[in-house]
A = this chain, B = another copy of it.
Amino acid sequence: MIGAFGGVGTTVALGIAALRRGLSSDIGLVTALPLFDGLALDAPAQFVIGGHDIRRTNFAKTVQEFQNRSNVFEPALAEPCLPDLEEWSANGRPGTVQSRGQSIGKLADLPEVTRRETTEEAIRRIQVDLSKFQERHQLDQVVVVNVASTEPPFPLSAIHSDLAQLQSALGDYPEAGAAGLLPSSSLYALAAIDLGLPYVNFTPSLGASFAAALEFAKERATVVAGQDGKTGETLLKSVLAPMFAHRNLRILSWVGHNIFGNRDAVVLNDPRNKESKIRTKDQIISQIVGYKPQTHVSIEYIESLDDWKTAWDHIHFQGFLGVKMALQFTWQGCDSLLAGPLVLDLARLALYARRHGEVGVLRHLACFFKSPMGVAEHDFFKQWAMLAEYVRGKKAEGE
């Protein structure tokens, strides 16, 4: 995992350790639904966790932070898992911060992270880490998942559409500069793809979502999926907007106000990083209803809420004979706990796809993402139908 020691990464690690010990049920894990029975997915307990991070920390520290600040990860569940967490923390390696914006850069406190190196050197360094991790643990497969903080939007140019040109330029760019060739998320993506590993982007950062990266994935016969895990307010949008559409109720305005206070929120408090997030959160309603109601999305850092993402949405709509009505909702979800199991789902499904010879973007995973790669459909239930059809198809094939 990239950004392994953050809230999401730590939830994944603790979750796998807890499932392994039978300390927790598989609630929240999509791939634990009956639909997936009979599909040859890797068991959660088989996973070994490693990762990159830019901060000097570990899983146990994050667990404690969450216990103190967000009142989750109860001791009875966390304590027996600490040995696993300690072992997996030792797999942590220094990451890279190229073009991730000042707000992320400020969090970095590891010397390797800010060391001057070319883009190519950074990629090689990551690949060495990945290979050593696989070797040391004698793993048949490795999947790379980006769960790091959101980067600012990265402007693409012609070079990002041309794999050959991009590859030949990798050595020319310094890694520790503001305006690099590629943002960090894409360095990890290229590193993974080059090794033929599946790459999943759980964030709105660029990652592998540009033409040259997709070409590279096909060349290396591996799979990619993304972007931006759909865990709370946006999930609800993709569930409720189809209802208005099917009832022919006209949405006049949809206002969404998000408040939370974890590290992710600190980074999103930077207007440049926030912009990436709002883009993916704000597009989906128009796509679903087929017209453009007024929309407003705000995200504010409110320290006291910690990981408890609270969203208030006000949907103003028009019914028969022009009458205006309203739906409001308040969502109070612990963000990392919502994201964690989906990361594990995606890892299982990406490895499955890679193992079964799929190549390129995994379109059937659209229901997991705010901004699904290669899929214009945002209606959650249509996205779900794509996944269900895929699973049933695979099962019919005898897999």
Measured CB to CB, the closest approach of chain B to A254, in angstroms, equals: 9
Whether a CB of chain B sits under 8 angstroms from the CB of A30 is yes
Q: Are A321 and B239 neighbours in the complex by a CB distance under 8 Å?
A: no
Q: Which of B28, B74, B322, B338 is the one whose CB lies under 8 Å from A25?
A: B322
A40-84: CB near B (< 8 Å → 1, else 0) gives 000000000000000000000000000100011111010000000
A200-251 contacts to B (CB < 8 Å): 235-236, 239-240, 242-243, 246-250
Q: Which of B240, B304, B341 is the one whose CB lies under 8 Å from A324?
A: B304
Whether a CB of chain B sits under 8 angstroms from the CB of A283 is no
Whether a CB of chain B sits under 8 angstroms from the CB of A179 is no
A333-378 contacts to B (CB < 8 Å): 333-334, 337-338, 340-341, 367
Whether a CB of chain B sits under 8 angstroms from the CB of A328 is yes
Q: Are B321 and A302 neighbours in the complex by a CB distance under 8 Å?
A: no
Q: How many copies does the complex hold?
A: 4
Determine the chain B residues whose CB is within 8 A of the CB of A30 once the complex forms.
Answer: 246-248
Main secondary structure of the interface of A (DSSP, over half): mixed
Whether a CB of chain B sits under 8 angstroms from the CB of A303 is yes
A32-B310 Cα distance, complex, nearest whole Å: 31
Measured CB to CB, the closest approach of chain B to A341, in angstroms, equals: 4
Whether a CB of chain B sits under 8 angstroms from the CB of A392 is no
A183-B28 Cα distance, complex, nearest whole Å: 46
Q: Are A381 and B235 neighbours in the complex by a CB distance under 8 Å?
A: no
Bin the interface of chain A by size: 35 or more
Determine the chain B residues whose CB is within 8 A of the CB of A250 once the complex forms.
Answer: 27
- Kindly report which residue of chain B lies nearest to residue A367, judged by CB atoms: B246
Determine the chain B residues whose CB is within 8 A of the CB of A333 once the complex forms.
Answer: 319, 325
Q: Which of B259, B321, B332 is the one whose CB lies under 8 Å from A72?
A: B321
Q: Are B73 and A71 neighbours in the complex by a CB distance under 8 Å?
A: no
Q: Which of A236, A247, A321, A340 has the most CB of B within 10 A?
A: A321
A255-B312 Cα distance, complex, nearest whole Å: 11
Q: Which of B73, B236, B325, B337 is the one whose CB lies under 8 Å from A319?
A: B337
A139-B359 Cα distance, complex, nearest whole Å: 62
A42-B310 Cα distance, complex, nearest whole Å: 41
Q: A27-B248, A27-B249, A255-B302 are in contact. Are A340 and B320 (CB under 8 A)?
A: yes
Determine the chain B residues whose CB is within 8 A of the CB of A5 once the complex forms.
Answer: none
Whether a CB of chain B sits under 8 angstroms from the CB of A11 is yes
Whether a CB of chain B sits under 8 angstroms from the CB of A195 is no
Q: Which of B294, B300, B338 is the one whose CB lies under 8 Å from A304?
A: B294
Q: A310-B314, A312-B257, A330-B330 are in contact. Are A73 and B321 (CB under 8 A)?
A: yes
Whether a CB of chain B sits under 8 angstroms from the CB of A296 is yes
Measured CB to CB, the closest approach of chain B to A73, in angstroms, equals: 7
Q: Which of A30, A296, A325 has the most CB of B within 10 A?
A: A325
A92-B217 Cα distance, complex, nearest whole Å: 70
- Kindly report which residue of chain B lies nearest to residue A67, judged by CB atoms: B74
Determine the chain B residues whose CB is within 8 A of the CB of A259 once the complex forms.
Answer: 253, 255, 296, 314
A1-45: CB near B (< 8 Å → 1, else 0) gives 000000000010011001000001111111011000000000000
Q: Are A27 and B329 neighbours in the complex by a CB distance under 8 Å?
A: no
Q: Which of B15, B300, B324 is the one whose CB lies under 8 Å from A255?
A: B300
Beyond A30-B246, A255-B300: 4 further Cβ-contacts under 8 Å? A28-B321, A72-B323, A239-B240, A319-B341
**Considering the complex of A and B, which 3 residue pairs feature the smallest CB-CB distances, nearest first?**
A28-B320, A252-B304, A381-B381
